[in-house]
A and B are shown apart, each in its own frame.
Chain A
């Protein structure tokens, strides 16, 4: 079948350049900032309703999707600005040469939604009491944060116990530095604070109401520090858990926008032809998902690197991208995605689709085919997070069958899957979808580091242990020179792909579909989880 690649497209799709030639792509051409009018209600599709919406505690896209409009980080990702960062609550940042401190100059004239003034005390409190103690990812990044000095109301100086790379902190700014109001959180049980649900922030929109199972509503903040913004009066997140429903609701104009591929990929070429609809395949570069096969190294057969290489060779990555992702993904060979031009290593071991080689490796490892052509059996647990992870599970079973490995699929719901893989470690191989967040140290090295306690999700629970890799991770975490960090992480990528600690199969992000009268969509690398202050309807 012809997919979107060749079909006539109404919408501009920079996908091919974006994914195929990501390395050659400096920045996406920024669309001229179209003039949106003030007012209007934007209704968008939402598929989950996280009970805790505090982005300072839970850095996850489901939370950010709503919370990023209400609570702002210090800086946001940007296609063109220096370091790829546009200022938000911080207007400037400067790291000290010794890596022990980082000075933020904060924006003046900012007030909280409850009219209290915003100051450096809020930043100090958020950093020390929330990000460092409770943040699911912040805990690791800010572990060595010792103190935050506040010489005046608009300066915050972060002091670290050990040299900490400014590059890492910079890369962590968009996702891990949501600032929450000290006056509502101080002296309370932070995890149970009612403000985790009824958000109070400094962002362009205020939290209005949440009706479980129906919608979440945000309204315009009239006292936003950028007086010209936001354009929209209201954002309504309509809960549409059914994937087919989002496409129909868009066509019926009940909603104007569906992000995070709420419209199934297989439906896209049809919907792209509907008049008044626009398809965006960019705007997610800052949150690349990786389709990986996690391997339990405790299993005797899988502890042999030849067997793991055989598995890597058994997978036809091109087929996966073509059939499962309908072309909206890129093949992958290593733990850092291609669209990170700074850290992506190109010289890692590649495992092309080669069943003969896979068979030879398995024979060599001492697992010949026995009755029925089967070498050994495995339990395969596909993560239930995405349609694509489940479908890839079905594909992987067949791909392994072709080289004589009989995999039995065990399907679980999300809590059962997390428990089985990350706490009980009761699996042989799994299909997982970790997120790469702009720096290997944020949520990627944890997939390879050994010695983690059971129960830490989305981390190395599969018994991979390589002292060299551990040493590289530790060394890189304490290296403050940018170029040296890149060199260390390149060595790290080489080592883990050589060991086949896990098998990287593809890198995927999402598609946004919107009515064409919605302007300024997908204009930054984390658009769906940014503040939408400049989004609005065409005049």
Chain B
């Protein structure tokens, strides 16, 4: 399911060529009426199908970029904290806790209302609200690994502490963190949709959240405008979650086998 979504998102320019924001037909055409606009048109006469396809692109781009950024920050912080220990650990973990006390969505919202809604700031905003969990998990894994013999061996051959941390310890600690990625992507999809719904999305692109928000004003008249991207969202989050579960399961069995 996720593969199909990814394929659709990647192939957006082929499936729905041209500017998805272009005004192509009469406004508020209901779906299944003409072949030209199989899912109807919105309030300005823009094609809902191409909006949906291009929206998938934005949504997945933002979500995966945000998850990657969150994992990167989280893993770096977690590894340093776990491996070095002492006051560095204390300081980094207190910062992480401070971030955790604020709801992730509020943090993102605050950042975006200050910096303005553009794709990079949205990605950064979501990442800033989501890096704490990977950081804590990485740290826990590293803590249990750093007393192992192979670490001592690395010390003996003269590797520098950070080198040991990132080259020797981290790869062994990565599996549980990676299975967290799916959860973060799913959460990022929802946060991005919520942001666009509130009008904090990038106005120059279609996103599913902004499609729902725009459809909401005509909900009684043209419910399909909100329902179609809504279904898209549900399917995406579900697909990401199921994939995540599958990956986690596979990793677990491999670990047990090892």
**Interface positions of A (Cβ within 8 A of B):** 1, 243-244, 247, 264, 266-267, 269-270, 319, 322-324, 384, 387, 391, 393-395, 397-398, 401, 408-413
Contacts and interface: CB of A to CB of B under 8 A. Distances in A.
Residue of A322, A323, A384, A393 contacting most chain B CB atoms (<10 Å): A323
Contact of A244 (B21, B27, B45, B219): B219
A267 B220 contact: yes
B218 interface: yes
Contacts of A319: 23
* Shortest 9 CB-CB contacts between residues of A and residues of B: A409-B203, A266-B218, A323-B27, A411-B203, A264-B217, A409-B204, A398-B23, A266-B221, A408-B204
A394 B44 CA distance: 8
Contacts of B204: 397, 408-409
Contacts of A401: 19, 22
Nearest to B28: A1
Contacts, number: 62
Interface residues of B, number: 24
Question: Main SS of the interface on chain B?
Answer: loop
B221 A323 contact: no
Interface string B102-134: 000000000001001100000000000000000
B221 A324 contact: no
Nearest to B45: A323
A391 B222 CA distance: 17
Contact of B220 (A270, A394, A397): A270
Question: Main SS of the interface on chain A?
Answer: helix
A401 B24 CA distance: 13
A324 to B, nearest CB: 7
B217 A244 contact: yes
A31 B222 CA distance: 35
B216 interface: yes
Given A1-B29, A264-B218, A267-B220, 5 more contacts: A324-B43, A394-B203, A408-B204, A411-B203, A412-B116
Interface string B196-216: 000100011000000000001
Nearest to B216: A244
Contacts of B28: 1, 266
Nearest to A407: B204
Contacts of A398: 19, 21-23, 44
Contacts of A266: 28, 43, 217-218, 221-222
Contacts of B163: none
A319 B203 CA distance: 21
A397 B205 CA distance: 12
Given A395-B23, A410-B116, A267 B218 contact: yes
B26 interface: yes
B44 A391 contact: yes
A264 B216 CA distance: 10
Contacts of B22: 398, 401
Contacts of B218: 264, 266-267
